[in-house]
Amino acid sequence: MSAIGYFVAGTDTGVGKSLASSALLHKLVDQGMRAVGMKPVAAGTFEQHCAHTNEDVLQLQAAGNVAAPLALRCPYLLQAPLSPHLAAAAEGVTISLPRITGAYRELAAMADAVIVEGAGGFRVPLTQELDGADLAAALELPVILVVGMRLGCLNHALLTQDAIAARGLRLDGWIACRVDPGMDASDANVATLQRLMNAPMLGDIPHLQHADARRAAAFLDTSALLRPTEFPR
């Protein structure tokens, strides 16, 4: 059986993508699967044990149960906390889609499930010519959209849904992440999205004082996410 793979996209940066991706990994591990997280492009590092690392990459690693090299889990680890195309340019790095799809294939050979977390919003630039949507299309994976519940989220979610469809990709579900605890009419906004989104809601993660992926996993339903997908070309 081929590995299950999903590309986790966000409506924007800071919408809870890493939390939701790690929570998905916890759910898959709890179901007895070998699951690994991948962050193809991570921008913004800090030093730990004399090496540079990234918080999102660490969170995904902690949630999975497959030991895989960092070079596969994060082919591009960039130091500056900027849009990937700017961070890469600052280091003289050119982001290559074949390098990322090759790393994905290797991870998929090690695991039953691979959760791929995109950078920033769905169409964040990766190079002068490529963006996050191009990456999702190159991986040929179904998409899970994380919607950060805050003012403007309805427009952002619907525009992103349209962008996913425009690339010929399948939106298999979306997750509400309540990043703004003071948002007015948050329940009504979730209900509106349930009516307007063309995919099922897979979870509604409440605002957590501490971003705990294990706790967040309790608010997800992954029963629909157990269909194998083909490896990207």
Per the structure block, which two tokens stand in for 119?
A: 């950078």
How far apart are alpha carbons 146 and 124 in whole angstroms?
Answer: 15
Evaluated on CA atoms 183, 187, 188, 191, the torsion sign reads positive
Question: pLDDT, tens digit, for every residue of 39-54?
Answer: 999 998 876 655 677 8
Q: 152 versus 231: which is more confidently predicted?
A: 152
pLDDT for res 229: 47
Residue with tokens 């979730």: 190
Question: pLDDT, tens digit, for every residue of 123-173?
Answer: 999 999 999 999 999 999 999 999 999 999 999 999 999 999 999 999 999
pLDDT for res 231: 42
In terms of C-beta density within 10 A (0-12 exposed, 13-18 middle, 19 or more buried), how is residue 10 classed? buried
pLDDT for res 43: 92
Q: How many CA atoms lie within 13 A of 207 on its CB side?
A: 13
Residue 210: band (very low, low, confident or very high) from pLDDT cuts 50, 70, 90:
confident
How far apart are alpha carbons 58 and 107 in whole angstroms?
Answer: 16
Question: pLDDT, tens digit, for every residue of 86-131?
Answer: 999 999 999 999 999 999 999 999 999 999 999 999 999 999 999 9
Residue 228: band (very low, low, confident or very high) from pLDDT cuts 50, 70, 90:
very low
pLDDT at residue 203 is higher than 90: yes
pLDDT at residue 60 is higher than 50: yes
pLDDT for res 47: 64
Sequence length of the chain is 233
pLDDT at residue 178 is higher than 80: yes
What would you report as the CA-atom Rg of the chain, rounded to the nearest whole angstrom? Answer: 16
Count of beta carbons in the 10 Å neighbourhood of residue 206: 13
Q: What predicted TM-score, i.e. pTM, was given to this entire model?
A: 0.93
How far apart are alpha carbons 120 and 71 in whole angstroms?
Answer: 20
Beta strands in the chain (DSSP E): 4-10, 35-38, 41-43, 46-48, 51-53, 76-78, 113-117, 143-148, 171-177, 201-205
pLDDT at residue 12 is higher than 50: yes
How far is C-alpha 133 from the geometric centre of its chain's CA atoms? 12
Per the structure block, which two tokens stand in for 100?
A: 């990322």
**Candidate list 26, 39, 85, 178, residue with the active-site label:** 39
Active site residue 39: yes
